[in-house]
């Protein structure tokens, strides 16, 4: 009987792992499609427009210096817009802030970007202001924060989010609280909640823990903690 129970649990775990792998693969493919669309729509159109403008400029340089000057200024603006579009796409792939200025700045940037795109107010507090840890855990925390905000957008119906990132000698803690409908126990334990499974997987890889709690009509709270070794992760 015990062997049968263990076999069932093993089969269930294998099934969950297979489902998670399929979900992650689908998510990667969707991300590739989205980035390809942005490259085509933003960069493709911008470069085509610049090419046309350069063709017109060639004639104006010969026949109309004033018009040529105006077109050069216009082209400069279009090039600046194109550079900005390239930076946006690169940032979505991996924020340079994460490498250049650290985790706190990247979390604050993501919160502002989330607020601009969703209209959901997102307040962030980091203590200390500059949190220095190794790049692998920084990436894990940042991706967990992104996934948490994605879940809020899709499911919570929240209007406000509060995120706290704190680091002590022994622990790094990310706490995200929203004022939405409140996640249910069934949703927390749902084997198809791949966003939550992905958060747990990222945390567990670095020996972290995840706590999720919801109260109907009062919102959801997620707390992710990573132990800091005595020697630190500088």
User: What is the distance between the alpha carbons of residues 66 and 72, in angstroms, rounded to a whole number?
Assistant: 10
Please state which architecture CATH assigns to domain 97-227: 2-Layer Sandwich (3.30)
Contact (CB, 8 A) for 130 and 136: no
Q: Which of left, alpha, beta for 232 (phi over 0: left; psi -120 to 50: alpha)?
A: left
Kindly list the domain boundaries of the chain, sorted by start residue. 2-93, 97-227
- 178, with CB counted inside 10 A (0-12, 13-18, 19+), is buried
Angle of helix 65-93 relative to helix 45-63, nearest 10 degrees, comes to 160
Q: Quick: pLDDT tens for 61-91.
A: 888 888 888 889 888 888 888 887 777 676 6
Rounded-to-integer distance, Cα 100 and Cα 89, Å: 17
pLDDT at 144 over 70: yes
Q: What is the pLDDT of residues 10-69, one digit of tens each?
A: 566 666 656 666 655 666 666 666 666 667 667 777 888 888 888 888 888 888 888 888
By residue count, the chain amounts to 234
Do residues 163 and 122 touch, judged by C-beta distance below 8 A? yes
């Amino acid at each position: 009987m015990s062997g049968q129970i263990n076999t069932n649990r093993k089969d269930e775990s294998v099934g969950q792992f297979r489902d998670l792998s399929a979900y992650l693969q689908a998510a990667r493919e969707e991300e590739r499609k989205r980035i390809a669309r942005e490259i085509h729509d933003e960069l493709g159109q911008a470069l085509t427009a610049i090419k046309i403008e350069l063709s017109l400029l060639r004639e104006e340089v010969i026949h109309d210096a004033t018009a040529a000057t105006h077109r050069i200024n216009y082209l400069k603006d279009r090039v600046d817009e194109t550079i900005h579009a390239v930076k946006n796409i690169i940032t979505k792939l991996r924020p340079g802030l994460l490498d250049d200025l650290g985790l706190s700045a990247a979390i604050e940037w993501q919160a502002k970007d989330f607020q601009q795109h969703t209209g959901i107010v997102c307040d962030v507090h980091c203590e200390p202001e500059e949190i220095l840890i190794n790049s692998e855990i920084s990436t894990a925390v940042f991706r967990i924060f992104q996934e948490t905000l994605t879940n809020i957008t899709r499911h919570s119906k929240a209007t406000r989010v509060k995120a706290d990132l704190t680091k002590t000698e022994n622990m790094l803690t990310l706490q995200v609280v929203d004022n939405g409908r409140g996640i249910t126990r069934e949703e927390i334990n749902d084997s198809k909640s791949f966003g939550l499974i992905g958060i747990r997987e990222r945390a567990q890889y670095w020996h972290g823990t995840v706590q999720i709690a919801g109260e109907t009509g009062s919102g959801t709270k997620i707390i992710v903690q990573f132990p800091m070794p005595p020697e630190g992760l500088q």
